[in-house]
Amino acid sequence: MHSAMASFHSKTAPVFQKRYTEPSCRYTGINNGRIGIKGCGKSWRINIGKTRLFKGGRGSVVQCCSSSSTPSAEDQRVLRLYGKDHFGCLVNEYGWKVRRLVEEDGEMRKVAQVQAQAFHVPVALFNDLFFEFFQAEVLSGLVYKLRNSPPDRYACLVAEPASETQQEVVGVVDVTALRDEAVLQHLGGAEEYLYVSGIAVLNDFRRQKVATALLKACDMLSILWGFEYLALRAHEDDLGARKLYSNAGYSVVSGDPPWTSTWLGKKRRVVMVKRSNLRE
């Protein structure tokens, strides 16, 4: 994946000292446009097409299977706070399924390898050595974010073949809750948003809708966490990446100052945002 495919930062996730207790609920998949969640004594279904944000806070207004009333504050908290083991499959489309990263050594190393291959800039001398250093830095940043972020503020999503006979991480994306004022000014009064970054796909699996499935999983996550907007950055001259994001519903709202490339010698980036709306 070209380095312009959404800006990658290994250690930019905000640090939160408070640890949240993960609820004993679990995500059970999508069936006929409904998200199934079971646990805590109740079974919930979120109608994707009719989900809206409840007034005064984050989280989706959902209907309990046994009641037509709006869930209690505690139930809304349960639906918003998911740990690494509770998502199951967020998206299963185009031959790929996307789920949350399992926090174990082998899988984290595989994710670091995928992102390092996508974002490493080759050097003339000692390239293999520099790559190993970069991959170690990516892994360190991933561990840091997983260990220091509440379960509804950061997630690393991984894509793998839908076939149960082939389990291999082929794509990765980071999703982080942020409050950057430079972005918020374009979001119509929103207090925070989900920032999509670090999109990476292995070379052998590019142009096979892996990135599209990852972006759709980000949409799903925004609904589950109750965020109205998603945002990302892309290099202005990376037309392929910008087309991918445009097809996923993102629109350009701002860009780096013109002198970024003239004075600093960096590629100019644009900010792209979309309103949370999972399309079936």
- pLDDT tens string 26-46: 444 444 444 454 444 444 444
Q: What is the pLDDT of residues 139-163, one digit of tens each?
A: 999 999 999 999 889 999 999 999 8
| DSSP secondary structure code for residue 60 in this structure | B
Between 89 and 97, the higher pLDDT residue = 97
Asked whether 217 and 157 are in contact (CB, 8 A), the reply is yes
Residues 6+ apart with CB under 8 A from 157: 90, 98, 99, 100, 101, 172, 173, 174, 175, 214, 217, 218, 221
Please determine, for residue 98, whether its predicted confidence score (pLDDT) is greater than 90. Answer: yes
Give the chain's domains with CATH numbers.
81-226 (3.40.630.30)
Question: Which range, of 5-19, 134-148, 237-251, averages the lowest pLDDT?
Answer: 5-19
Please determine, for residue 101, whether its predicted confidence score (pLDDT) is greater than 70. Answer: yes
Q: How confident is the model at residue 188 (pLDDT cuts 50, 70, 90)?
A: confident
Please determine, for residue 213, whether its predicted confidence score (pLDDT) is greater than 70. Answer: yes
Q: How confident is the model at residue 277 (pLDDT cuts 50, 70, 90)?
A: low
Please determine, for residue 24, whether its predicted confidence score (pLDDT) is greater than 50. Answer: no
Please determine, for residue 16, whether its predicted confidence score (pLDDT) is greater than 80. Answer: no
* Mean pLDDT value across residues 55-82: 38
Q: What is the structure's pLDDT at 200?
A: 96
* Mean pLDDT value across residues 254-280: 78
Alpha helices in the chain (DSSP H): 73-80, 105-119, 127-148, 181-184, 210-225, 239-247, 259-263
Q: What is the structure's pLDDT at 121?
A: 87
Q: How confident is the model at residue 261 (pLDDT cuts 50, 70, 90)?
A: low
Point out the residues that are catalytic.
245
Asked whether 69 and 60 are in contact (CB, 8 A), the reply is no
Per DSSP, the three-state class of 81 is: coil
Q: What is the pLDDT of residues 247-257, one digit of tens each?
A: 999 999 999 88
* Mean pLDDT value across residues 189-204: 95
* Mean pLDDT value across residues 219-233: 94
Please determine, for residue 25, whether its predicted confidence score (pLDDT) is greater than 90. Answer: no
Between 219 and 167, the higher pLDDT residue = 219
